[in-house]
Amino acid sequence: MTTELTPTDASTIIPGPANPYQGDIARYWNAEARPVNLRLGDVDGLYHHHYGIGEIDHASLGTPEDSEYEKKLITELHRLESAQAEVLLDHLGPITAEDTLVDAGCGRGGSSVMAHQRFGCKVEGVTLSSTQAEFGNKRARELGIDSHVHAQVCNMLDTPFEKGSIAASWNNESSMYVDLDDLMAEHSRFLRVGGRYVTITGCWNPKYGQPSKWVSQINAHFECNIHSRREYLRAMADNRLVPNAVVDLTAATLPYWELRATSSLVTGIEEAFIESYKDGSFQYLLIAADRV
């Protein structure tokens, strides 16, 4: 696949979007500055663009009458988002400090930093957004880990990583922006045999029939295209990625959404997630697969 090249200054050339849709997504994430993401990231400097899992810790949250309640609520939502990334990392298999991992659709880089902190390995993040890549690289410099954690503006369907060079890779809520067959083919190409691929994603449930009105609302809100569970499993099977774990995280993410819906940081999409998880039309899923 060839990409248009956009000169920025005398020394850097960054690839442009592969198509007009990717240009829209790059613009979307370059402009994104929602308080629900920045204020949660400010809690400890790990900036996520994904959702949370786990039970609410009511003891540390306290009650709405507490003058510190809103601050505690933000800390609690952030704790649940980091817990989600920990569960993703749990499924990457044995990783050593010599390994390189790929964070496909890395956002502001929170999961990349956590992976390096856990394994001591290198992490290469790719995002369509230059704002996000610059943000992630600045955070890595501030943390003194820029020799190991690096983000670049790059289409995850067409990466510069050598065939078979990557020990593990993931998509944390970023696979709904791309064709799944193209995506799995690219992970399969750069992963070494025996390597691991993990995705955490929202997907529509074939048992429901077709995407519900709530799923359509989520697509419109984020300009994404949510795939079905069946499409994930088929695209993996067609690309030498054999699932070794399929974990339904739907029940585990509902407390996060119900808590978030009561906060001052609501964005208006909370009802669609809560209702679609409850009516069974939408699922929050982790799929881990071995590259065979």
- Residues within the interface to ligand SAM (CB under 6 A): 22, 25, 29, 48-50, 105-107, 110-111, 126-129, 132, 155-157, 172-174, 177-178
Both structure tokens of 220? 């419109």
Give the number of residues in contact with ligand GPP, rule: CB under 6 A. 14
Which of 25, 26, 37, 52 lies at the binding interface for ligand GPP (CB under 6 A)?
37
Does 36 sit near ligand GPP (CB under 6 A)?
A: yes
Instruction: Using the minimum distance from each CB to ligand SAM, give the nearer residue, 126 or 194.
Output: 126
Nearest to 273 by CA among 21, 13, 36: 36
Does 224 sit near ligand GPP (CB under 6 A)?
A: yes
Alpha-carbon gap, residue 113 to 109, rounded angstroms: 6
Q: Name the residue with the smallest CB distance to Mg ion.
A: 37
From ligand SAM, Mg ion, ligand GPP, none, which one binds at residue 129 (CB under 5 to 8 Å depending on kind)?
ligand SAM
Question: 3-class DSSP state for residue 103?
Answer: strand
Instruction: Using the minimum distance from each CB to Mg ion, give the nearer residue, 74 or 235.
Output: 74
Nearest to 151 by CA among 188, 118, 104, 186: 104
Q: Which ranges in the chain belong to alpha helices (H)?
A: 20-31, 35-41, 58-61, 69-90, 110-119, 130-143, 180-190, 213-222, 229-237, 250-260, 270-279
Q: Decide if 273 contacts 257 (C-beta within 8 A).
A: yes
What minimum distance in Å lies between the beta carbon of 187 and ligand SAM?
A: 12
From ligand GPP, ligand SAM, Mg ion, none, which one binds at residue 269 (CB under 5 to 8 Å depending on kind)?
ligand GPP
Give me the half-sphere count of Cα atoms (radius 13 Å) on the Cβ side of residue 18. Answer: 15
Q: Name the residue with the smallest CB distance to ligand GPP.
A: 202
Alpha-carbon gap, residue 14 to 217, rounded angstroms: 33
Q: Which amino acid is at 121?
A: C
Does 269 sit near ligand GPP (CB under 6 A)?
A: yes
What minimum distance in Å lies between the beta carbon of 46 and ligand SAM?
A: 9
Interface positions with ligand GPP (CB under 6 A): 34, 36-37, 49-50, 173, 176, 202, 218, 222, 224, 226, 267, 269
